[in-house]
Amino acid sequence: MAELITGPDGAVVDGVLRLGADGSLTVEGYSVRTTSTPAGLRYDVLTPDGTEFSWTAPRAVAQRTLILGGARSGKSTEAERLLAGHPDTLYVATGGDGESDPEWADRIARHRARRPATWGLAETIDLVPLLDSPGPPLLVDCLTLWLARTMDAHDIWADSSRVTEVEQAIEDLAQAWTRTTRLVVAVSNEVGSGVVPADPGTRLFRDLMGRLNTTIAHYSTSVLLCTAGRTTAL
């Protein structure tokens, strides 16, 4: 009887047909059909004795992935898809709990509803300790809200001379991102593609957002761009 054995490096059918994330070798008598799915490459195998097997090779996730995109571009969904195979993922929400904003609370509730029930949750902008500590994969959603709340914490909107404090926070985050031993995916917005903001505070936020994205991207092992629900590797 035909046999399928799976392991960390792939799967083997009858000891001769090897399947993996990058494809398989042709073996006489075995029919193999492959389909790309959100979870990875799926194999449908028909063996010489008529046995049918179906197996999916999980997609590999880079150690440090930054996902960029505009509003409603699909970036959060892509981040969740990348870590769907990790039931112990810790979701790091940087936008607060929405207690004072019903519309924001509704957004948060919809995000929670679509995440796996096994995922943990941390609501914080104190990202450096999380990145520096060992543990399960992190999904940081998102760096844009981290920046806005960091600017709030330094009262930069009222006094732009404190910009150096925010720049230091960006550098501290980047260094922690570089040295982390965790698998980590972060989501961030591209905000500089539209019109020039009319007020200096928003212009400063736009400029800092671009600097933050550029810095984190430089230290990432993978950078993805989401546009209209489509994902492109940069």
Active site members: 111
Cα dihedral 116, 123, 233, 41, rounded to 10, equals -10
Query: In the 3-class helix/strand/coil scheme, how is the chain assigned residue by residue?
Result: CCCEEEECCEEEECCCEEEECCEECCCCCCEEEEEEECCEEEEEEECCCCCEEEEEEECCCCCEEEEEECCCCCHHHHHHHHCCCCCCCEEEECCCCCCCCHHHHHHHHHHHHHCCCCCEEEECCCHHHHHHCCCCCEEEECHHHHHHHHHHHCCCCCCHHHHHHHHHHHHHHHHHHHHCCCCEEEEEECCCCCCCCCCHHHHHHHHHHHHHHHHHHHCCCEEEEEECCEEEEC
Q: Is 124 exposed, middle or buried (0-12, 13-18, 19+ CB in 10 A)?
A: middle
**Tokens describing residue 203:** 């212009």
**pTM value?**
0.73
User: What is the pLDDT, as a whole number, of residue 147?
Assistant: 97
User: What is the pLDDT, as a whole number, of residue 26?
Assistant: 79
**Tokens describing residue 116:** 């796996």
Residues forming a β-bridge with 227: 230
Cβ partners under 8 Å of residue 131, min gap 6: 138, 173, 176, 177, 179, 180, 182, 184
> Other C-beta atoms within 10 Å of 182: how many?
16
Least Cα distance to 81 among 23, 139, 26 occurs for 139
User: What is the pLDDT, as a whole number, of residue 83?
Assistant: 92
Q: Is 20 exposed, middle or buried (0-12, 13-18, 19+ CB in 10 A)?
A: middle
Q: Which residues of the chain have pLDDT under 70?
A: 8, 22-24, 38-39, 60, 97-101, 104, 108
Side-chain-side CA neighbours of 193 within 13 Å: the count stands at: 7
User: What is the pLDDT, as a whole number, of residue 122?
Assistant: 96
User: What is the pLDDT, as a whole number, of residue 221?
Assistant: 93
User: What is the pLDDT, as a whole number, of residue 121?
Assistant: 95
Q: Are 213 and 53 in contact (CB under 8 A)?
A: no
The C-alpha R_g of the chain, in whole angstroms, comes to 22
User: What is the pLDDT, as a whole number, of residue 200?
Assistant: 81
